[in-house]
Every structure is written in structure tokens, then in C-alpha cells.
Amino acid sequence: MNEIVSIDHFNLWSFDLNLLVAFDALMKERSVTKAAVRLKIQQPAMSHNLGTLRTLLQDELFVRVGQVMQPTHRALRFAEAVEQILSRTQQAIVTPAVFEPDQAEQIFRIGFSSELEVLLVPRLAAMLNETAPGIKVLARAVDPELVHKLLDDNVIDLGVGCYDDGNNRHRRTLLFEQSLMCCYNPELLDLPETLDRDSYVGLRHALVSQKDAIEGCIDDALKRINVRLDVSVAAPEFLTVLTAVLEAPLIATLPTRIVKRYAGLFGLATAEVPLDLTVSPISMVWSAASDNDPANQWMRSQVTRLVSAYS
DNA sequence: TGGATGACATTACCAAAGCC
DNA sequence: GGCTTTGGTAATGTCATCCA
């Protein structure tokens, strides 16, 4: 088993690694002049390189035998290591960075607003299980006000939710516009099929809130139209809000996608929101530093594809 | 003929000073 | 405090030449 040796950067810095290239050329050509031609430098420059190598390695390295520069025993041993170093370095330089999802082993940390977490994570899990079994997703609810800091601190790789542009360290793409619907338990609330504004405002409400404010995520939209709701329950998870509505005579105002997907499962009735509520669109945000990272690019494309399947 | 060496030119690096 | 400019120094390369 190879011993792992820590790199002494200071000593390597003081040793010009181009000397290894010069040494390799000398080994292959067995001639200072031909080695110089190979590296497209003049013969004296190569001679200087050989002189420096002789000083650093405290060995003649090459001795002239007739027309040939014959390597010493020390040079022959050194050559094996140099060959490996240069060939691996060249391979690392010329091999483009590619991301192979079926081979990759990686954990993606994605911050979601709770609607997107509920809608996307199950499909993301199914997709990864099928096409990229080594990739895992660590999902977490992220406050819109914190998402850019979490990206900066490398706590999350992507954010998907109701997020703004951030600054020039961040990138954002719009995924879809949001709309809202209401749902309630028809056994606890006797409401007409079409709700009017006064009836809606007069009810007790359950809302999703990832902030301290009980008015929840639609707080700004309500303020714009000068409406205040009587909020009985505000919780960060949609599931909590849906079960609250199931148990209590409350009405929930939630993203249309959530209502259409889960209201039926809970036996809840649905209704249009009788207010002109304009809420922020759903975006995906990431750090500029990971903009060209193939793995991050791949995950962004997968999220975009899964989201478009809902549209 | 081919490697080694001295003189000179160019380039890179570093530290100090000035500016915002 | 951070960035840019400037001048000094060291490293590196080329040319010319010497020597084995």
C-alpha cells in the first residue's frame, strides 16, 4: 500500500519543477543539444538546467561518453519517478472535467422552500435511484433571507424556492410562476363552491410560514392589497397546515400545485382565492463559483427538467 | 562536434510608497 | 485596509565563444 506523504510546498516551491521536464528530455535524447531542440530552447539554457539539476541532486546525472550523454545510476532511478510524475500531470491537464452521473459518488445539499421540497424530492429520489445511484440529496428547508449566505458559506449547493437575485456572487434562473388555491374540510366548514372576498377574509386561516411572522409567506402579497387575515395556525411544513385544516374549521391558502396534489388525498374541498394575490415566482439559485462545475450543472438541469414536468 | 561558460537582455518577483 | 504603481533584485534565456 502506498504511503501517503504530505506535500512540502515550501521545498517544492524552491525546486523549479520545469527542471523535471528538462531532465526527462535529457533522458530521452541523451544529448543536451537535442534535448534543447525538443523543448524549443537554446543549448546553453539546457546546459544551465542540467547544471542546476546536478547541484540540487548532488550527482553528475549525465556523463559524456563519446557522442552520448550517459545517465548515471542516480539518474536512472530518478527517471522512473519523473516519468510517472510528468505523465500523470499531463493526463490531469489534458483530460477535460466530465461528470458521469451513473458513476458519481456525491451528496448534493439542496435548500428548498417547503412546496418544492414536497413536490420535487420524491421525483428527484426516483430519478437518482434509476440513473445516478451514487448521488444522494440532502434536502433542507431554507429561509429565503438566508439562502444566499448558505450558498456563500458552502452549506448548500443549490437553492430552489421563492428566492431573489442575491449579488454578483450568485446566479439565478426562473423556474415557474406561482399561483394560490384554498382548501378546507367540508365537514367542518360549510362554504359555497365560489368564495367571495368577505367570506374568505372573515374565516380563520392556516398558512405556511418559514419566518417569525404568523402572516406567513403570503404576508407581502396581502399587504399590497391591504388585507389582514385572522391566522390561527402558521407552520413551516405544508403537511402540518393540511392536517390542521383537516382537524379544525380553518381554511388554508397554499400553492396551487400542492392543493391539486394533496387536497384530494386528505378529503379536503378546494376553492379559488377570491383576492388578487401576486406571489413571487419560484427560482433556482446557486453560487457563481459553482456555475461551471459539471456536477452542479447536471443537478440544475435535472431540477429544471423535473419542474417543467409539473408545468 | 557538442558541452560549458561569460556577457548581456528580458522577465518575474518582491517590497515600499502612494492613492482611494 | 486593499489595490496599483514603481524600482530594485534575482532568475532565466540567448548569443558568442572557448575547450575537450
CATH, residue A68: 1.10.10.10
Number of separate domains in chain A: 3
Residue A101 lies in a domain: no
pLDDT in tens, A208-232: 877 665 555 577 777 778 888 888 8
| Together in a domain, A288 and A161 | yes
Question: d(Cα A219, Cα A234) in Å, to the nearest integer?
Answer: 11
Claim to verify: residue A114 and residue A190 sit in the same structural domain = no
Does residue A4 belong to any structural domain of this protein? no
Q: How far is the CA of A44 from the C1' of C15 (A)?
A: 10
For A144-184, the pLDDT digits (tens) are 888 888 888 889 999 998 877 767 678 889 888 888 899 99
Selection from A41, A48, A38, A40 nearest residue A16 by Cα: A48
CA of A43 vs C1' of B6, distance in Å? 15
Same domain, A172 and A286: yes
For A12, list phi and psi in degrees, rounded to 5.
Answer: -65, -35
A51 touches strand B (CB under 7 A): yes
A112 shares its domain with A169: yes
Q: Give the three-state DSSP class for A73.
A: helix
Q: What is the mean pLDDT of residues A258-280?
A: 87
Query: Is the CB of residue A206 less than 8 Å from the CB of residue A217?
Result: no
> Which nucleotides of chain C have an atom under 7 angstroms from any protein CB?
11-16
Mark whether A132 and A190 lie in a shared domain.
no
Cβ of A16 near strand C (distance < 7 A): yes
Q: Cα–Cα distance between A83 and A128 in angstroms, integer?
A: 40
Whether residues A15 and A78 share a domain: the answer is yes
- Model confidence at A47, in pLDDT bands (50, 70, 90)? confident
A189 and A264 fall within a common domain: yes
Whether A67 sits with its Cβ under 7 A from any strand B atom: the answer reads yes
Identify the residues numbered 21 to 40 in chain A whose C-beta atom is closer than 7 Å to any atom of strand B. 31-33
CATH of the domain at A170: 3.40.190.10
Lowest-pLDDT range, A85-94, A235-244, A282-291? Answer: A85-94
Co-location of A76 and A211 in the same domain: no
Asked whether residue A216 is domain-assigned, the answer is yes
Question: Which of A32-41, A77-86, A126-135, A155-164 has the weakest average pLDDT?
Answer: A32-41
Per-position DSSP letters for A215-226, written without gaps between them: TGGGHHHHHHTT
pLDDT at position A269, please?
94
- Judge whether A1 lies within some domain: no
Which nucleotides in chain B lie closer than 7 A to a protein CB?
A: 1-7
Q: Assess if residue A3 is contained within a domain.
A: no
What does the pLDDT look like over A100-110, one tens digit per residue?
899 889 999 99
Same domain for A137 and A194, yes or no, is no
Instruction: Find all residues with CB under 8 Å of A95, minimum gap 6, and list them.
Output: none
Could you list the residue range(s) of the whole structural domain that residue A136 is in?
106-177+281-308
Last residue of a domain, one of A72, A94, A116: A94
